[in-house]
Amino acid sequence: MTLRYLYTLAMFLVTPLLVLRLLARGVRSRPYHRRWPERFGFFDPPGFSGSLWVHAVSVGEVNAAEPLIKALRRDYPNAPLVVTTVTPTGTARVHQLFGDSVFHVYLPYDLPYSVSRFLKKIRPRLALIVETEIWPNLYFACRRRGIPLMIVNARLSERSLRGYAPLRGLARSALRCVRLIAAQSRTDAARYRLLGADPEQVLVTGNMKFDMPIPDGAVAVGTEMREHWGRRRPVWMAASTHEGEELAALEAHLQVLKRLPDALLLLAPRHPERFKLVENTVRSLGFAIATRSGEGVPSVSHQVFVIDAMGQLMPFFAASDVAFVGGSLVPIGGHNVLEPAALSVPVLVGPHTFNFEEITRSLIEHGGAERVADAGRLGSSVLTLLRDTARRERMGQAAQQVFQRERGAVQRVMRLIDALLQE
C-alpha cells in the first residue's frame, strides 16, 4: 500500500511536467491541443452506460485491436463501444477505421481523480487493455467499481520486464486486479507470471495481429500502381522508419541504384511530424522524389517516393518486391512485420525486434524473413533479393504461410470475453 501511495504522490509531483508536455505536443498537433483536458478526465459525458471499453495506446495497438473491435460490434451491436488512445496518430487511426461508430476519448493520466472522472463518464461493463499498459490507479479503480479488466493480445518484452523491476510489488498488486491476461505467446505469459500475475489468470491465445483484415482492393491498387511506374521495375519499401533509419535506407538505395538504376524506394516514416523533414532530406541528397501528398503516386522518373500519409501502407506493400520494416535498425523494438507477410512480400528487419520477437523469430525460422545485422548491410541484402526472383517468391510464400497458420486469436479472445460478460 505504501508503494502505491508513493507512486500516486510521484504522479501528482510530475503533473506540471505533464502539462508542459501536453502544451509542447499541442504545438505540433493543434487538434491534440484542443483535447488535452481529456488527459485529466474532462470531457462531455457520452450519456450511455454499460459500454465495452478498449484501450489501444497508439497506431500499432489500434491496428492490432481492429479485428477485435469489429467482432465486438458484430456480437454486441447494442453495447456502446469506447476506444481510448494516448497519441494523436492512434486517434487518427481510430477515426479512419471506425469513424463515429465508436466513442473515442484520450486515456487520462494515472491520477486518482482523473481516472475516477473518466470511469464515471464512460461507465464500462468491461475493460479491455491491448498489449502492455499497466496503470496501477486505473486498475485499482476498475476493481473497486467491479469492472472486469482483461489484458488482450498481451505482450511483455524482456526489456519491459526489467523496466518494471523497481516497481515489481506495485505491478504485482495491479495485475491482481486483472481477471484475465490473454497472452500472445508462451514467452509473454511466462513474463507476466514472473511480474506477479496470478498464473491461473494467464492464458495463451495467440497474436490478434494475425487476424488483421487485408483491406479490400489493396492488391488491385498495388498492381495498378506498378503499371503506372513500370511493371518490371525493382521496387522495395522501407516502412515505419524512425530517425536514423531513413538515412540508412537512402544510403542502401544508392547501393541498389548502382546495379539496378531503375529501382524505386518507397519510404514511409512512422510519425507524421517527421514527414516534411524526411522529404527535405531526400531532396537534399539529390534523389528524384515524389510524395503521396504531392504527386499521389510515383512515375517512371522518380527514384524515391515518400509516403507522407497514415494508414495507407498495405497497397504499397502489395506493390513492393521487398519490405524492410523499421524501428529495428534503431533500438525501438521493431514494428508490424505481418502486413507485408500477409501479402506474400519477403521481409527484412534489423537487430532490434523485441516488440515482435515471437512473430519475427517465426518468420525467420520458416524462411519468410531475414535479419540485417546493421545499417551498413541493408543495401546488399535488398540488392540480393531484388536480383533473385525465385528466392523472393520462396520467402513470400513462406511468410504468407506463417501468417495464415497463426490466425484465430480473436475468436479465442472473444470466447473469453463472452464468458466474462455472462457472469
Residues assigned a catalytic role: 61
Please check whether residue 122 is in contact with residue 53, taking contact to mean a CB–CB distance below 8 angstroms.
Answer: yes
Please check whether residue 117 is in contact with residue 54, taking contact to mean a CB–CB distance below 8 angstroms.
Answer: no
Strand pairing report for 51-55 and 81-85: parallel
Burial class (CB in 10 A: 0-12, 13-18, 19+), 279: buried
What separation in angstroms does the CA of 176 have from each of 2, 53, 314? 17, 19, 39
List the grid coordinates of 111.
491520477
Please check whether residue 183 is in contact with residue 127, taking contact to mean a CB–CB distance below 8 angstroms.
Answer: no
Query: Helix, strand, coil shares of the chain as percentages rounded to 5?
Result: 55, 15, 30
Chain-centroid distance of CA 364 in Å reads 20
| Full DSSP string of 338-362 | HHHHHTT--EEE-S--GGGHHHHHH
Around Cβ 108, how many Cβ atoms within 10 Å?
24
Provide the Cα torsion 323, 329, 332, 335; round to 10°.
10
User: Cα–Cα distance between 227 and 224 in angstroms, integer?
Assistant: 5
Nearest to 339 by CA among 311, 365, 367: 311
Sign of CA dihedral 414, 186, 65, 410: negative
Q: What are phi and psi of 332, to 5 degrees?
A: -90, -35
